[in-house]
Amino acid sequence: MSRFIQLVGRDIRLAFRQGSAVTLSLSFFVIIVVLFPLGVGPELAVLARIGPGVLWVAALLSCLLTLDRMFQADFEDGSLDLLIIGPLPTEILVLAKVIAHWLTSVLPLIVIAPILGLSLNLPGDGIFALTLALLIGTPTLSLIGAMGAALTVGMRRGGVLLSLLVLPLYIPILIFGVAAVDAAIAQLTVVPHLFLLGGVSLGALVVGPLAAAAGLRLSLS
């Protein structure tokens, strides 16, 4: 257990020392959201209508942007070899990397999402539901993404392939996530949508580490 925490701690410390990872995905997230009003025009009604979708798609893409670094940095400097032969089972290792990725690359997006929601004219209920849905749904992005990152580790131009592998699998999260926010805006009950999101996240918690661990063993051998 202490090794698990050490590993998560190391990744978080590295992310903050190098800084670039956190700020990059955050700025990417903001700029995508900013592009939409510029593209579709500043009409508040239109923005409120597309807001939930825009925010979710932007979150998906920003998450994707940081995914390929999940194992790549450790692979390039040989750390991944040592981690794999260490005492942690590979599945647990993946879980530690996933938690670190979520905390450093996704959580900042969720923190800033309400402000962006305001700028897209989302009502208060919608913003609350958005934050909640992001909190419940985004772990899946890191978990499923870990599988893609593990399969493409060590590949030239693995990032493009990673997007093709992972994005179709993100579709349920996008649909349920946006549905939750839409329901909140329409003053309908949000809970069933959140349950669906939670269910997908739990499923990903099982499948993600298993598949990613298999992928890592393969990429290293």
Partner 1 sequence: MSFIAQNLACQRANQLIFEDVSFTLSAGEAIWVKGRNGAGKSSLLRICGRLLTPFRGHAEWQGKDIFKDYDGYVGQYHYLGHLDALKHAMTVRENVRFWASFHGTANVAMALEKFELQALADTPTGMLSQGQKKRTNLSRLVASPAKLWILDEPLSALDRHYITLFKERLLRHLDDGGMALFATHQDMELDRVKILDLDETAS
Partner 2 sequence: MAIDLHKYANPKRFLAITAAIYPWSVWLTVILLLGGLYLSLFVAPPDYQQGDTVRIMFVHVPAAWMALMIYTLMAVSSAVGLIWKHPVADLTAKAAAPIGACFTFLALVTGSLWGQPMWGTFWVWDARLTSMLILLFLYLGYMAIWESFDDPTKAAKAAAILALVGVVNIPIIRFSVDWWNTLHQPASVATMDGPKIHSTILIPLLVMGLAYTAFFVMVLIIRVKAEILKRRLHVLQIAELRES
26 binds, among partner 1, partner 2, none (CB under 5 to 8 A by kind): none
Question: Which residues contact partner 2 by CB under 8 A?
Answer: 144, 147, 151-152, 155, 158, 161, 164-165, 167-169, 171-172, 175-176, 179, 182, 196, 200, 203, 207, 211, 214-215, 218-219, 221
Number of residues engaging partner 1 in binding (CB under 8 A): 22
CA distance 118 to 122: 6
C-alpha 128 chain-centroid distance? 19
Site for partner 1, residues 154 to 193, rule: CB under 8 A: none
Using rule CB under 8 A, residue 5 touches partner 1: no
Long-range pairs, 183-192, Cβ under 8 A, ≥24: 183/129, 184/125, 184/126, 184/128, 184/129, 184/130, 185/48, 185/52, 185/122, 185/123, 185/125, 185/126, 185/129, 187/125, 190/129, 190/132, 190/133
- Which of 100, 147 has the CB closer to partner 2? 147
What is the torsional sign of CA 111, 116, 119, 122? negative
Q: Of the two residues 6 and 23, which places its CB atom closer to partner 1 in the complex?
A: 6
Near partner 1 in 63-122, by CB under 8 A: 76-79, 81-87
Please say which residue, 7 or 67, places its beta carbon nearer to partner 2: 67
* Straight-line distance from the first to the last Cα atom of the chain, in angstroms, rounded to the nearest whole number: 27
Q: How far is the CB of 108 from partner 2 (least distance, A)?
A: 27
Q: What angle do CA 1, 151, 89 make, to 5 degrees?
A: 20
**Residue 18 contact among partner 1, partner 2, none, beta carbon within 5 to 8 Å by kind:** partner 1
Residues in contact with partner 1 by the rule CB under 8 A: 2-3, 6-7, 10, 13-14, 17-18, 76-79, 81-87, 220-221
